[in-house]
Amino acid sequence: MKIIPVTDVRHKAATIPALAEAPTGLLTDQLTRPLRDLRISVTDRCNFRCVYCMPKQVFDKNYVFLPQTDLLSFEEILRLATLFVAHGVEKIRLTGGEPLLRKHIEKLIAQLSRLTTPEGRPLDLTLTTNGALLAKKAQSLKDAGLRRVTVSLDSLDDTTFRRMNDVDFPVTDVLHGIDAAHAVGLSSIKVNMVVKGGVNDQEILPMARHFKGSPFILRFIEYMDVGASNGWQMDEVISSAQVIERIHAHMPLAPIEANYAGETAARWRYLDGGGEVGVISSVTQSFCHECTRARLSTEGKLFTCLFATQGHDLRALLRAGHTDADISGAISHLWRARSDRYSELRSQQTANLEQPLRRVEMSYIGG
């Protein structure tokens, strides 16, 4: 039986530099990319077993998830988030696993919502969810200070959706959660569909028609080669260009400008005024040159790329009693050394490596 380890066993302690620089909010990496976004995984657990992320043949009933003591506490997350904000982070996204499974997540959101940038602006605090618990929690999330939410939804067809989440969860409950989030005032709600050829690509047009003219922005994501557990194959990728071509043939589209530098989704508007859709070309096009994202795993390892092969342990510094200045210096040191551009090098790496490096799993650090 093949065993696929999904936590990052190849990590190293974050280095505390001898001369730590004070944070200025202007930290940049080797390619002059600033640190603006922090994605925090708050749990490694999920109530879905999606075929492209946490397939049941790996994450079965015998799979051992992290013990509670290994997870960063809310206090530790807040402390690290505060240090990242001082270095320039303006947006924090809570991910998982499924973040709404983390007990008392509203308390963490309330704590994070009080953070402000060095200029005094509130953070863009958002969360990505599969929507299963969203209807139940939407009001408490809003009351705690959550500003936005992104919902993963891979099909409107109930049979297809149940097959993809692999736990027989009905699509109507997710749709109800999206409506509930809108009703309580969560703004700019986005709906993400991962498109896997031969599995749900027949749902591209139904999804586009359903969300056209709605308050929600639908985004199509290319099936990604993250980790090893999903058995990724290039021939299962439906490119963003193909997605746009299919929609445009029935509902004409035109490209529009990005909202901000480094936005991952290319934006398109319906010519009849029916709103917009987005496409995230995570395989066929690279957006490495504008990537401003760092990722913090459930157990406190910092990853400077979604396709990273190792993380840097910040939890060890927290629990060893290091000062904020020490940990801030470690973060600065890691980001200044960052030169990740995996997507730009993907073809070259595939050709040159006899055995590709094992990348961290998406379920471990969030998408």
Task: Tell me the C-alpha distance between 363 and 20, whole Å.
Answer: 33
* pLDDT number for residue 353: 37
Say which residues have a Cβ less than 8 Å from residue 58's Cβ, sequence separation at least 6.
4, 6, 229
pLDDT band at 363 (very low <50, low <70, confident <90, very high): low
For residue 176, pLDDT beyond 70: yes
Which of 231, 265, 359 has the alpha carbon at shortest distance from 306? 359
pTM of the model: 0.88
Phi, psi angle pair for 109, to nearest 5° = -60, -45
In the predicted model, what is the mean pLDDT of the chain?
89
Rounded CA gap, 123 and 116, in Å? 6
Report percent pLDDT > 90 for the chain.
Answer: 72
Specify the pLDDT at position 344. 61
Checking if the pLDDT of 168 tops 80, the result is yes
Average pLDDT over residues 5-28: 76
Q: Where do the domains of the chain lie? A: 12-365
Mean pLDDT value across residues 29-38: 96
Q: How confident is the model at residue 106 (pLDDT cuts 50, 70, 90)?
A: very high
Cβ atoms of 313 and 14 within 8 Å: the answer is: yes
Q: CATH assignment of 12-365? A: 3.20.20.70
Q: Before 227, cis peptide (omega within 30)? A: no
pLDDT (tens digit, 9 = 90+) per residue, 191-247?
Answer: 999 999 999 999 999 999 999 999 999 999 998 765 554 455 777 889 999 999 999
pLDDT at 235: 75
Mean pLDDT of 122-144: 98
Tens-place pLDDT, residues 284-315: 876 788 899 999 999 999 999 887 778 999 99
Nearest to 229 by CA among 18, 60, 16, 104: 60
CB half-sphere exposure, 233, CA atoms < 13 A: 7
